[in-house]
Chains A and B, each alone.
Chain A
């Protein structure tokens, strides 16, 4: 069967194509339209998936949308009615939004693709998350937790998944928490309070939390009250999900925690105000971890299973993930490369294949590389046209390792693009991980971002334990950079660029089979430096999506302090005069 999965209309739209039970293409819309977190109908992503497989829309057996718009409308309308008359400002906006396009998504998909509406189906949001987490994981039976802001009504679900020997698959939702009681919305409200953009700045809260102490956790528990059975309720006096959709917190929240940070206000961690923000971040983070660990522990005891699959935006919280793995009793924790809404496109397609249409289960290749491939020749042509030194070299890996060993910053484009928010070795900026100076240089000349945010390392799997304190099952969690673990104390000073203030790192543990070239580069770099670890950050500038094509990589390379651009075997070196001009602009 040929099944297209689509997610969109909220944030980070995507499309994924599954043929005969195996994914063949998946890409986020933002990577093609170059609009960060593009939430529009993912037409470019759909077109690319179909072109990649050589299909036309008529060839598709089914198109699956990742959530049920009528249920979502029910939740939105009920919420507005419950908030009457205080929701009067939100009502026209929400109705225009829902009635304008979102409610008629089956018709929209049918008309955009020119197919019958009978071939378009919708499944529930958290079913898509659960399928994305479980059906892509190399496990036969697992407990499943999905948690995000909100789907239709559910905000958090627990269940189990089974792949049987006869080929059939089952995903069973046991219970759920419903809107407005949401871990994701709680964390987003704190994100907005701390002056970061909701649905974008949550990981900044996680980074900031390491600088603080959870001194305000008792006050946080007034907002989010955990129950003994793992559930929790939000005290809605502290939130305003209807009146202030963009922020979500109420004036009572401000009364409790003090004035919110304005988005232009710098975070000075040496000041009382900066420490207050860091403590609030630490308290929210600690409470989120406590709740997630509680839910996971209960589920493990209830099911007796040793594997857990985690999906939804909350699964991007690597600190919480690592704590779940350490404390909840599971032996392995699987988080897909795209646990957020973008990943639901693949989840929806797989759910339809296995569950709706009863197709036999097939193992899904265990990597995140489902996007477009770069055209190395095009990079060579563009660079030479512009008079920038470029060569196609058979020893590119050795050359790059030499460059990295002399503190050069490398833009690395190699193979099909990652599906999900992390750069996992195909669209990465790589650098030596040893000095704080390198971290500061990356922040200043390339990423233009807050100094408190950490950079992540990538390490060859064989050497991971030497540098990082991985818990049992930690290497699996770190496959897609989904867990934050301690850097071994004896290595922290030599891995200063990737060691966060609390001694941890969000490490990617790379197996040779998943990405042989980057693995070879790590080995080559290890031969030169004695440490087969590299700093690995996404190949983009602040506010832009990760690069897709070589021309996007090239323009990024031209605009920032990257010294060497590599696509496959093609290496482009920045001439000194261009580098000086860029540094002058940055200054």
Chain B
């Protein structure tokens, strides 16, 4: 509720809306790739079928988000460009750096369940604040329906795979998500601090060394550098 005005602000502007939708498209696509990987790694045939179906859903969501994002962008700027084609490197995996090869089926299902729950919550929130764009609202509602299905199947499968342990596994997954969020925050903060210190260092300490380096560069001859003098005699 507190964040409702923030969401309103973000989603009110059609250009920002287009950008967010294109970002969602990339996230869904990379999530789909992760699910394919999960299907490749599991030994459980039922889970393999579930993951492949889920991956297909994610790929479809990516297409839907991309189509709507492009259409919005065209409506607002007249441009068809996506502008985010290289936003994520090809083949890069999306699940918060999760090493799928080292996850058990139960841990992965718990992680998926929490991710789908969070996505469903967010999409419901976005659908509520988008009042002047029915097409995008309907898109979110459609995807929300799938996310609810994903939530249900991941919970059901978790019960099948880890009977009597499911609550513990879910709590463990919540703690891991929290820890990863902290790590992301700490890494970002450390990155900013290091950036400030190094930039200061660059302008305060480096100028005399830069002068020397530039002077030496002028003396360097271009072309071949001889590595083995003897061999050339």
Question: Which residues of A does B touch, CB under 8 Å?
Answer: 30, 33-37, 78, 81-82, 84-85, 88, 91-92, 95-96, 157, 159-160, 172-178, 181, 197, 200, 227, 229-231, 233, 262-265, 382, 385-386, 542-545, 549, 551-552, 554-555, 558-559, 585
Contact = CB atoms under 8 A, between A and B. Distances in A.
A177 B224 contact: yes
Nearest to B197: A92
B202 interface: yes
Contact of B45 (A92, A174, A197, A385): A385
B91 A82 contact: no
A177 B210 contact: no
Contacts of A386: 45, 48-49
Interface in B169-227: 191, 194-195, 198-199, 202-203, 206-207, 209-210, 212-214, 217, 222-227
B137 interface: no
Contact of B198 (A92, A160, A176): A92
A586 to B, nearest CB: 11
Given A543-B90, A555-B40, A172 B231 contact: yes
A227 B228 contact: no
B222 A181 contact: yes
Given A35-B93, A84-B207, A96-B191, A229 B224 contact: yes
Contact of B227 (A92, A175, A385, A558): A175
18 contacts: A35-B92, A36-B89, A81-B209, A81-B213, A82-B214, A91-B199, A96-B195, A172-B228, A175-B228, A200-B90, A227-B223, A231-B223, A264-B83, A264-B85, A382-B45, A554-B40, A555-B52, A585-B59
B198 A96 contact: yes
B39 interface: yes
A85 B224 contact: no
A45 to B, nearest CB: 13
A331 to B, nearest CB: 22
B12 interface: no
Contacts of A197: 86, 89-90
B37 A34 contact: yes
A351 to B, nearest CB: 15
B225 A176 contact: yes
A35 B86 CA distance: 15
Residue of B52, B59, B222 with most chain A CB atoms under a 10 A cut-off? B222
Nearest to B212: A81
A175 B225 contact: yes
Interface residues of B, number: 48
B96 to A, nearest CB: 14
Nearest to B207: A84
Given A229-B224, A558-B52, A34 B93 contact: yes
Given A81-B209, A585-B59, 9 more contacts: A81-B206, A85-B210, A92-B194, A172-B231, A200-B90, A262-B81, A263-B85, A264-B81, A264-B82
B232 interface: yes
Given A92-B202, A386-B48, A36 B90 contact: yes
A88 B194 CA distance: 14
Contacts of B16: none
Contact of A91 (B101, B191, B202, B231): B202
B225 A177 contact: yes
A320 to B, nearest CB: 20
Interface in B110-132: none
Contacts of B89: 36-37, 197
Contacts of B212: 81
